[in-house]
Amino acid sequence: MSDEEGILFLIKEDDSGRSFALLSFALVVGLAFHAYTFNITKANDIANKYALDTYSIDFEHYDVQGSDSILIASGETDVLQLSRDIMGVEEGSLMAQIAFDISYSESSGQIGDPCDEVHVSIAPNGMVADWQNEDNVLSDSNDNCDPMTLLVYVYPEYVGESSEVVGSSANYWNDLWTNETYGSGTIELEISVETNEGPTSFATGGDDNEEITVQWTVSFFEVEITTLPL
C-alpha cells in the first residue's frame, strides 16, 4: 500500500495532522465532560427518570345516618327512596356504601299475635353503584321480627383501607378515586308486609298493617393521593 492510500496520509496532508489533533482533543474533553455529567452528576436523575412512581392512597371516612318509620298495610308495598339530595349531602360527595337496617315488632297489641311477614328488597338500578359486587345484600325477608340489614356497595373496589400503588400518574389515581358518578341517582328500598292473624284477632279486630322502621347509614369518603419519594 502506497502512502497515498493510507488514512495517515489524509490525516497528515497539508496541516501535519493539526485539524485531526484539535478535533480529537475537543471530542475527548467534551465526551469526558459528558461522561462525568451523565454517570455522576445526573446519574440518579437519569436512573429515576423512567422509574415508576409510587403513590399513597389514603381515605377519610364519614357516615351520614337517618331513619324513617313507615306504616304499611297488609299486602301492600311501600318504597323508601334515598339520594344525595334527600340526604342533604353535597353533589360531589364520594359514596362508598349504603346500609339499611330494617326493624319492626308486632304492634297489633293482641295477645299471641305472631310477627308479620316483611319482605325488603333493593332494585339494582336507579343509582350508579357496584351492583355486581357479590357482597351486596339486596333482599331479605322474615316473619319473626328479627332486624334485617341490606347492603349496597356503591364505589367499586373501595375497601376503605389506605394502600400504596406503583405506576401511572397521580392524576390517573386521582381520577380513579374521584368518580362522582358513583352514588348519583336514587336508590329505592321496597318493603312489603303480609300480616299474620293472631288467635284472638276475630275478637279484637284484624291485624291489617305494620310499622316498619328503616335506619339508613351511608358511608362517604375523601381521598388523598400522595407521591412517595423514590
Partner 1 sequence: MAVDGLLAVGGILSLALGASGLILTRNQKQEVIWNKRFAAQILCWIFICKGIANGVRSVGYEGESWRFVLYTGHFTDQVFAGAIMLLALIFPVPLLRTKKQFKIGALLVLTYTLISIGAAIFISVNTPLAGLADGYIVCGFIWASVYLKFRFMSNYEDHKEVQGVSDVAILLLIMVTGHILFRWVGFLTRSDYFYFMDVYGGNMTSDYLWSMGLAAAAIFGIVILFGEIYQVIQGNVRGTSYVIFTYMTIGIVSHIVLAGTGLSGSGGGTDAGAGYTKWQSIWTEITSSVHFTMMRPIFGLYILFHYGLVKISEDNEQVGKTMAIVLIVVATSALLEIIQSLIPLTEMLSAGILGIAIAFGIGWEERSFQSLISNPLRFPIRVKGLYFPELDFEKSAYFTLDKGMAILIGFVVLMAFILELSSADPFTMNSW
User: Which residues sit at the interface with partner 1, rule CB under 8 A?
Assistant: 1, 4-7, 9-10, 13-15, 19-20, 22-23, 26-27, 30-31, 34-35, 37-39, 41-43, 45-47, 49-50
- For residue 27, the minimal CB distance to partner 1 (Å) is 6
Q: Where are the alpha helices (DSSP H) in the chain?
A: 7-12, 18-36, 43-49, 84-87, 170-176, 201-204
Nearer to partner 1, 41 or 162 (CB): 41
Rounded distance between C-alpha atoms, residue 122 and residue 140, angstroms: 10
Nearer to partner 1, 8 or 73 (CB): 8
Nearer to partner 1, 46 or 79 (CB): 46
- For residue 19, the minimal CB distance to partner 1 (Å) is 4
The two counts, helices (H) then strands (E), for the chain are 6, 9
- For residue 185, the minimal CB distance to partner 1 (Å) is 34
Rounded distance between C-alpha atoms, residue 13 and residue 220, angstroms: 83
Cell numbers that stand for 13 in this block: 496532508
- For residue 42, the minimal CB distance to partner 1 (Å) is 5
The DSSP annotation for 60-92 comes to EEEEEEEEEEEEEETT-EEEEEE-HHHHT--TT
Nearer to partner 1, 20 or 59 (CB): 20
Nearer to partner 1, 34 or 61 (CB): 34
Q: Which residues contact 26 (CB under 8 A, 6 or more apart)?
A: none
- For residue 57, the minimal CB distance to partner 1 (Å) is 22
CA dihedral 171, 177, 178, 179 (to 10 degrees): 110
Nearer to partner 1, 35 or 79 (CB): 35
- For residue 120, the minimal CB distance to partner 1 (Å) is 48
In this structure, are residues 81 and 216 in contact, taking their beta carbons and an 8 Å threshold? no
Q: Which residues contact 227 (CB under 8 A, 6 or more apart)?
A: 53, 54, 55, 170
